[in-house]
Amino acid sequence: MKKTLIALAVLSAAGASFAQVTITGKLGFGSQRLPINASVAFPTADSQNGMIMTDGNVTFAATEDLGGGMKVTASSELRLRGREDNPSVGLARNATIAMTTGFGVVGMGSIEAPTALLGGFAGAPVDLAINADGNATTTAGIQGQTALSGRANIDFVNLTMPVGPVIVTAWYSEVNSIGTGQAGNSTGITAGTVSARYTAGPLTVFGDYTNFQTKSSAAAKPSFDGRDRYRVWGTYDFGMAKVGVGYQTINKSQPDEANAGLTVPMGAVTFGLTYAQREAQKADATIGQAAAPARTFTGVGVQYDFSKMTNVNLSYGTNTGPTQLSDEYRIKLIKNF
């Protein structure tokens, strides 16, 4: 039975009004090693290795036709990663609402937003726990491993519309912190972003500009208040291979970052190579920033597709910069549904 019919049957039994509902998701299991910094400070860092449910997400999406060319779509994602005995760990993940109007699409929601700069990786099948978009903290023995700007948890509202051949999106977002639940803008950091995407056949070019502000009195205020970020990336699909490059620059004494990616499809097998680098971070007492070494990340991956919905992936990554930082790998089987 189709996923949409199952969902409609459930809604009907509950007495709810009909809408076009879909249920999608994925499950993945494998073995991995994180890029840990096993040291006296973190003597149990090796516990970051071993078998794990790497992926487990279920997404419910509903679309309603409002007439007159308007429609609304809502999507809510739940995280399912095997057993979990900790009742404080929430299941909620990304949730969005979008309304299509005559002048564009208005979107809003709460999401974990990866850095758009990773578009320069050209879709390479490098699938690692940390990769180049991880958390730069030193917890659990992981010492500042990310080579590119990490993910952010944001609440947002945006407007997307075509301007000639270019798709333009204007964003307003508020940054919240992991573990704060629905606490809203707990960091005090807000951001305004304008992005543009141009696609013509095998060529895609993306760029955005973001201005950060914060009313928070926290230590992050001098660094974020008035920060300007510029990002650009592009990919070109030659058929036999897809290549991409990206670049980012930020004021407030932040280091420039760059990346590149290569994807080579060969039937059911796809090979990938990624590289990212971040310049050395300069000490800046005016924003409370310490010096940090330059970082690089190199990843390789190969994926075999049993079908459009099932694949096995083997990826390996290496880092330079932070001391005692190990390599990482992951092999996993994933099933989409």
User: How do 295-305 and 92-100 pair as beta strands?
Assistant: unpaired
Q: Rounded to the nearest 5 degrees, what angle is found at the Cα of 207, between the Cα atoms of 178 and 210?
A: 50
147 vs 139, higher pLDDT? 147
User: What does the pLDDT average to over 136-147?
Assistant: 47
CA pair distance 117, 119, nearest whole angstrom: 5
CA pair distance 122, 145, nearest whole angstrom: 22
Q: Extract the tokens encoding 168.
A: 């333009």
Give pLDDT, residue 48.
61
Question: Are the C-beta atoms of 81 and 91 separated by less than 8 Å?
Answer: no
Give pLDDT, residue 11.
45
Buried-exposed string 160-188: b where 16+ CB fall within 10 A, e elsewhere? beeeeeebbbebebbbbeeeeeeeebbbb
227 vs 41, higher pLDDT? 227
Residue 187 pLDDT greater than 90, yes or no: no
Mean per-residue pLDDT over the chain, rounded:
83
78 vs 265, higher pLDDT? 265
User: What does the pLDDT average to over 142-160?
Assistant: 75
Q: What is the pLDDT of residues 225-273, one digit of tens each?
A: 889 999 999 999 999 999 999 999 999 999 999 999 999 999 999 999 9
> Which of 145, 135, 146, 128 lies closest to 30 in space, CA to CA?
128
123 vs 290, higher pLDDT? 123
Question: Are the C-beta atoms of 174 and 109 separated by less than 8 Å?
Answer: no
> Which of 301, 306, 309, 323 lies closest to 132 in space, CA to CA?
301
Give pLDDT, residue 89.
53
Q: What is the pLDDT of residues 200-216, one digit of tens each?
A: 999 999 999 999 988 76
Question: Are the C-beta atoms of 247 and 232 separated by less than 8 Å?
Answer: yes
Assigned CATH for 25-336: 2.40.160.10
Question: Are the C-beta atoms of 229 and 209 separated by less than 8 Å?
Answer: yes
> Three-state DSSP class for 19?
coil
Domain range summary for the chain, segments of one domain joined by +: 25-336
Q: What is the pLDDT of residues 94-109, one digit of tens each?
A: 999 999 999 999 999 9
